[in-house]
Structure 1
Amino acid sequence: MALLLGRKNARSTGRTAYRISAVMSLVLLVIGFALCPSLSPAQEDPLNKVHVEPPPPKPDPNAPPAPLEGEAAMKARHNERIRVNVNLVLVPLIVTDPMDRLVTGLEKENFFLYENNKQQTIKTFSQEDAPVSIGIIFDLSGSMANKVIRARDSILQFMHTANPQDEFFVIGFNDRPELIEDFTSNPQDIEARLAMVHAEHRTALLDAIYMGLNKMKQAKYERRALLIVSDGGDNRSRYTENEVRATVRESDVQIYSIGIFDPYAATTEERLGPMLLNDICSETGGRLFRVDDISEMGDIAEKISAELRNEYVLGYDPADLRRDGKWRRLKVKLVPPPGLPQLTVHARTGYYAPLQ
């Protein structure tokens, strides 16, 4: 009897231990799932993934390149612009009527452009008030002593009526040229410097023009112009007239002049001064304005400012692609709309082809 009871108790104890073991296993399994809520059968077995990343496609050799972004895109656009426009020749010009008034509103179809007498296809055409880099060449020689105040005021009036984005520098000259004010878009900077100038000594006009053209290489705008304010010819320069003329031809700079000439010029240089300035200005598409009454200088300065803000700009790719460095003559012909009188075109006379 005792043996039977012992066996019965043993079987009962074994079943109880089995139940406890099963319960413990279930508890441990529940705790494991609670601690790892993100674990799923799909994650445990890679073969059970639903969103399988496709392998990267093989590159198509005929497909266009992917667009660039950020700094790489900026560099690419810059290089493309240089490459596309490397042969583009820009010809700024103005048009006047028989009364020397500015004519605006003409269309591309009114213009015909020739290089070395061969008609070119006008690729771009615009008439807009684009910013200009302008250098002012101010005569401060002794003969300007009684005109320097009027001349200074006309320069300031010119700047105040220009495009607000225009940049200016000023070179004053007598025995030699000197930079009075570097590039600035603030007329007040120049006004402060011009308030301290005075006129004395001789006239190194050619040296001043040469210095202005060289300074213009630092300009930030494609459109560039010089405004010369002077009353006579050169009598002090180291550079010759031929050297300056060659430099004018090589530079893409328009030149305007306000000439305060003495009708009773005493020297040969003074008598030849108007002719020199007129030739240089005409060759670049600019103009010489003669001052008969110094009280008119302000109005003339405003007129030059208006011309610079209302230029037509023709652009073309030369049919002659040779890079021979030779001078190529330009001619712009104009067929005005019906009802208008004969109009005059003022444009540069040519340019040097690139060497490379």
Structure 2
Amino acid sequence: MHRISNKWTLAALALIVLAIGLWAQQPAAPPAAPPSEGELTFSTGTRLVVLYCGVFDRRGRMVTDVDRSAFKVYENNVEQSVRIFRQEDVPLSLGIVIDNSGSMRGSRAGVESASVRLVKSSRRADEVFVVNFNDEAYLDVPFTSDISKLEEGVARIDSRGGTALHDALSMSLDHITAEGKRDKKVILLISDGNDTASVSVTAERLAEKVQKSGVMVYSIGLLAGEDRREARRAKRFLDMITKASGGAAYYPDSVSEVESIADQVAHDIRNQYVIAYSPANQALDGTYRQIKVTAGSRFTVRTRTGYYATPNEAPRRRAGGD
């Protein structure tokens, strides 16, 4: 893997910092509310599939005022019954996954500074963890709202070794699904290239794991300084992972793009529609169910492309209403 220039690393990290900073500008979360007013909660005995949906017009602009009646949800091409529909900003369980391989060594100061700013700007109601990775993945900071602990984790960055990207994302998925307390779970991945050191999971198995987790993955691929063939391979992987999860991948070409991409990322995650439907096929038989959501002919809906009907997909929380 070729070393990427310092400006590209700073550009992508600045993107995330700006995005989270924009999230933080939203009104402070209110005190804990009853289940019907708080996070999504479902009655026992009924399996619901939860989707976070972004709606975009033909020019790629996000649309936030689409009426419920316009939405249709399909599972394996069969229309489903929507039980919950909301358009609101909800608290996040957020994972920050940073490539700390040798190719990033020249950018250590920028990574540390930008990451500290990032954790300081998260919302009060959010919870954050930090994973750094090179040949191995390290959970430097489990979920916390303690800024000092997050700063300490970021300061432990020591750029060296290869790029165990698959292992790092797999570990992050395990942590966010097992320990994350928020219904909406997002991972932000920063990397400058392809996996060179993973031993525990292949790209294909990782894509399946992402779909089983229900976690949205966003990525910033710092590929402008990479070999063309390597860049194409990295882009295929990042596109596959993010699309399957309902997230998005970004590939900045210049520093001038950072602010506009930051606006797009922040607006996307904080302005999605929350849709939950009760599958017509309630069987937990382990099969893959393809999902498609439409909102009329003028708009495109971005959400996860499917899920595996396993017991893990069933909601863990008790009772609540529309």
TM-score, normalised on structure 1? 0.69
1:180 equivalent to 2:180? Answer no
Deviation at 1:93, TM superposition (A): 1.2
Match for residue 121 of structure 1?
81
1:253 equivalent to 2:215? Answer yes
Per-residue CA shift, 1:215-239, capped at 9, x if unaligned? 1121111111111001101011002
Q: 2:180 aligns with which of 203, 216, 219?
A: 219
- Comparing 204-213 with 103-112, which one deviates more in the overlay? 103-112
Task: Indicate how the Cα distance of structure 1 residues 300 and 107 shifts in structure 2: closer, same or farther if over 3 A, else same.
Answer: same
Per-residue CA shift, 1:241-279, capped at 9, x if unaligned? 12212211211100000111135417x555411110111
- The answer as to whether partners of 1:151 and 1:297 remain within 8 angstroms in 2 is no
> Runs ≥4 in structure 1, deviation > 6 angstroms?
none
- Rg: which structure is higher? 1
Q: 1:169 aligns with which of 105, 115, 129?
A: 129
TM-score, normalised on structure 2? 0.76
1:333 equivalent to 2:289? Answer no
1:93 equivalent to 2:53? Answer yes
Task: Indicate how the Cα distance of structure 1 residues 82 and 264 shifts in structure 2: closer, same or farther if over 3 A, else same.
Answer: closer
Task: Indicate how the Cα distance of structure 1 residues 305 and 168 shifts in structure 2: closer, same or farther if over 3 A, else same.
Answer: farther
- The answer as to whether partners of 1:233 and 1:271 remain within 8 angstroms in 2 is no
Task: Indicate how the Cα distance of structure 1 residues 197 and 276 shifts in structure 2: closer, same or farther if over 3 A, else same.
Answer: same
Task: Indicate how the Cα distance of structure 1 residues 119 and 245 shifts in structure 2: closer, same or farther if over 3 A, else same.
Answer: same
Identity across the alignment (%): 34
Deviation at 1:305, TM superposition (A): 3.2
Q: Which runs of 5+ in 1 are unaligned?
A: 1-73, 75-80, 337-341
1:350 equivalent to 2:306? Answer yes
SS at match of 1:169: strand
Cα separation, 1, equivalents of 2:128 and 2:267 = 16
SS at match of 1:180: strand
How is 1:285-304 mapped onto 2 (pairs within 5 angstroms)?
285-294=246-255, 296-297=257-258, 300-301=261-262, 303-304=264-265
Match for residue 224 of structure 2?
262
- Comparing 172-181 with 90-99, which one deviates more in the overlay? 90-99
Letter in 1 for 2:281: D
Query: How many correspondences in the alignment?
Result: 271
- The answer as to whether partners of 1:122 and 1:316 remain within 8 angstroms in 2 is yes
- The answer as to whether partners of 2:51 and 2:303 remain within 8 angstroms in 1 is yes
Cα separation, 1, equivalents of 2:89 and 2:120 = 15
Letter in 2 for 1:343: F
Match for residue 15 of structure 2?
none
RMSD after superposition: 2.5
Match for residue 280 of structure 1?
241
Match for residue 137 of structure 1?
97
Q: Which runs of 5+ in 2 are unaligned?
A: 1-33, 35-40, 315-322
Cα separation, 2, equivalents of 1:327 and 1:280 = 16
- The answer as to whether partners of 2:238 and 2:249 remain within 8 angstroms in 1 is yes
Deviation at 1:318, TM superposition (A): 0.7
Task: Indicate how the Cα distance of structure 1 residues 109 and 350 shifts in structure 2: closer, same or farther if over 3 A, else same.
Answer: same
